Amino acid sequence: MAGRGALQLVPMTLDRRIGTELGGYRIVEQLGRGGTSVVYRAEHVRLGRPAALKLLTPALGEADFRERFLRESKLAASLDHPSIVPVYDAGEADGLLYIAMACVEGSDLKTLLLHEGRLPLRRTVRIVAQIASALDAAHARGLVHRDVKPGNILVGGDDRAYLSDFGVVKELASNGTTRTGSFIGTIEYCAPEQIEGRDVDARADVYALACVLYECLVGTPPFHRSSEVAVLNAHLHAAPPKLTRAAPDLPPALEQVVAKALSKSPLDRYGSCGEFVAAARAAAAERRVYRGRLAVSLTLLALAVGLGAVAALAVRSLAFEGGGTSASAPAPPPQPQPSLYELLLRSEDGRTLNDVAFALISAHDYARALPFARKAMAKAPVGSSTRGYATFNVGYALLMLGRCRESLPPLQRALVIEPKPLHRYIKPLVKQAQRCVQRAASARAPTRSAVGPRDPSPGR
Ligand SMILES: Nc1ncnc2c1ncn2[C@@H]1O[C@H](COP(=O)(O)OP(=O)(O)O)[C@@H](O)[C@H]1O
Ligand SMILES: [Mg+2]
């Protein structure tokens, strides 16, 4: 992981802990350092199992630190998820608190970004989605991470991503971290309520995860500033930066998704990390409508509407003049004029209809988008890409309207007719719809759900 570069060789060779034993582990080499911690590659002496051994220096004067550390480590060790670094052991030895966990071969995301710069959208979503799933599983167990950041995301082979540092008490103040009441997190990824020392819940992790996604796509975290005070102030008061200004190649719909996840109030954010990632995936899929084409379609339609109105006016005035009616003739009762939407909806062209549906979905106007998407689905030729995309849009609009049961068939259909590379965007929405249907079904059976056990990991 971080710290294996040539520059680290000097401190590593000077590290007197290398070769010694601690907590039943033999220390092999240094993997990296945090503000108040150092992580070693280690090996269990009796079992020979490789591990990462993290040593912490407890904050002075924190009398109950040790107890809380052990308590939280126990909770962290109880988490069993493919994207959470498994915790093997935690304890105290030689006056140091240690935590032994699985050693992930690869790189942490911070180092990856340092070496590779901005990551492509697909790769970003792939990594963030795994971490989102890990966080949702932890949240279902009542555990908020509070320190989601690239340094705590380990990326192994095939971009398998793991979240680390669950349960390691966050009160340790260090470089890049700040102390506010009982909270600590790295300030670049820190939700406003966390900064203010208010209660935090899963949505603080949603905020931090959105900061991570932004950083992967743009190269710097969203509220990056030259001083810590300025960063904190920006989290509290500055509007989220425009994603598409920082990276114009990204799909415009992604901007609203990031802005929502970065809302100042947790109430305005996505309710879970899974929801956030599903929205990001859908926005990424929307890239397939090109803004230029959309603009041309809408302009043509507006022109058609305008010309139609002019023609109607001309016919009307001709009729009135030709018929010899004078100013004294009674004016005909005003006819209700069709709205622009009604006129647009008269189009018979699947592409145009679908473009309008896309524009409305981008504006979160799902109710208005639905009839356009439906008609687009009916009008687009079977086997065309527009047909597939319109089918997806019907399902997506229905899902966003909370009509999960109805959303399932079109989403499942989209999965059948859309090309394979797009399945990764559609599958999570199908799952989201299925979960929503299940939730609705269990809500209708109050006696069972009132006494039965709660699903411990609805996010999975
Ligand atoms: N389980 C692990 N497997 C491999 N490397 C790890 C593991 N945990 C931490 N590391 C490496 O050690 C570095 C320091 O970790 P840590 O002390 O938690 O500090 P921080 O989280 O602030 O980066 C990490 O950035 C990572 O590169
Ligand atoms: Mg860490």
The mean pLDDT of the chain is 81
Judged against a pLDDT cut of 50, whether residue 391 lies above it is answered with yes
Contacting residues for 100 by C-beta, under 8 A, at least 6 apart: 23, 25, 42, 44, 51, 52, 53, 54, 87, 88, 89, 90
Q: pLDDT grade, residue 244 (50/70/90)?
A: confident
Q: pLDDT grade, residue 417 (50/70/90)?
A: confident
* 321-369 pLDDT, tens digit each: 444 444 445 556 666 667 777 888 888 888 888 888 888 887 788 999 9
Q: How many CB atoms lie within 10 A of CB 444?
A: 9
| DSSP-derived secondary structure letter, 223 | T
- Please state, in angstroms and as integers, the Cα–Cα distance from residue 9 to each residue in 26, 27, 199, following that order: 19, 16, 42
Contact indicator for 129, 212 with CB cutoff of 8 Å: no
* 7-35 pLDDT, tens digit each: 344 444 468 899 999 999 999 999 998 87
Q: Is 21 in a helix, a strand, or coil?
A: strand
Residue with CA nearest ligand 1 atom 18? 34
| Ligand 1 within 6 A of CB of 43 | no
Summarize the confidence of residues 54-79 as an average pLDDT. Answer: 75
Residues 339 and 326: their CA atoms lie apart, in Å, by 30
Contacting residues for 15 by C-beta, under 8 A, at least 6 apart: 30
Candidates 232, 250, 255; CA nearest to 364 is: 255
Residues 184 and 168: their CA atoms lie apart, in Å, by 11
Nearest ligand for residue 34 CA: 1
Contacting residues for 366 by C-beta, under 8 A, at least 6 apart: 360, 396, 397, 398, 400, 401
| Ligand 1 within 6 A of CB of 152 | yes
Candidates 168, 34, 169, 22; CA nearest to 95 is: 22
Contact indicator for 386, 243 with CB cutoff of 8 Å: no
| Ligand 1 within 6 A of CB of 262 | no
Candidates 2.60.40.10, 2.160.20.80, 1.10.510.10, 1.10.390.10; CATH matching 12-284:
1.10.510.10
Summarize the confidence of residues 46-53 as an average pLDDT. Answer: 96
User: What angle (nearest 5°) sits at the alpha carbon of residue 173, between those of residues 168 and 178?
Assistant: 110
* 99-117 pLDDT, tens digit each: 999 999 999 999 999 999 9
Pair of tokens at residue 99: 């935590």
- Please state, in angstroms and as integers, the Cα–Cα distance from residue 248 to each residue in 218, 220, 254, 402, following that order: 10, 15, 11, 31
Judged against a pLDDT cut of 90, whether residue 234 lies above it is answered with yes
User: What angle (nearest 5°) sits at the alpha carbon of residue 14, between those of residues 12 and 18?
Assistant: 65
pTM, rounded to two decimals: 0.62
**Residue matched to tokens 């509290």:** 236
**Residue matched to tokens 């299925």:** 434
Least confident range of 133-147, 191-205, 283-297? 283-297
Contact indicator for 414, 386 with CB cutoff of 8 Å: no
**Residue matched to tokens 């590779």:** 116
**Residue 26 C-alpha to ligand 1 middle, in angstroms?**
18
pLDDT at 420: 75
Residues 259 and 206: their CA atoms lie apart, in Å, by 12
pLDDT at 179: 40
Query: Span 291-296+342-438: which CATH code?
Result: 1.25.40.10
Pair of tokens at residue 324: 């010899």
Residue with CA nearest ligand 1 atom 1? 103
Decide: residue 86, CB within 10 A, 0-12 exposed, 13-18 middle, 19+ buried: middle
Judged against a pLDDT cut of 90, whether residue 37 lies above it is answered with no
Q: Output phi, psi for 141, to 5 deg.
A: -95, 5
Summarize the confidence of residues 376-383 as an average pLDDT. Answer: 87
pLDDT at 7: 36
**Residue 455 is a catalytic residue:** no
Instruction: Pick the more confident residue, 91 or 71.
Output: 91
Residue with CA nearest ligand 1 atom 2? 103
Nearest ligand for residue 5 CA: 1
Pair of tokens at residue 348: 């018979």
Pair of tokens at residue 154: 């380990």
**Residue matched to tokens 């990276």:** 247
Judged against a pLDDT cut of 50, whether residue 423 lies above it is answered with yes
DSSP-assigned beta bridge partners for residue 179: 184
* Set 64, 80, 94, 147: catalytic member: 147
pLDDT at 325: 41
pLDDT at 291: 54
Share above pLDDT 70 across residues of the chain, in percent, rounded to a whole number: 76
Residues 257 and 153: their CA atoms lie apart, in Å, by 22
Instruction: Pick the more confident residue, 3 or 100.
Output: 100
* 163-196 pLDDT, tens digit each: 998 865 454 333 333 343 334 557 999 999 999 9
Pair of tokens at residue 315: 């016919």
* DSSP string for 40-91: EEEEETTT--EEEEEEE-PPTT-TTHHHHHHHHHHHHHT---TTBPPEEEEE
* 281-314 pLDDT, tens digit each: 999 887 555 555 566 666 766 665 566 555 545 5
Judged against a pLDDT cut of 50, whether residue 155 lies above it is answered with yes
Going from N- to C-terminal start, the domains of the chain cover 12-284, 291-296+342-438
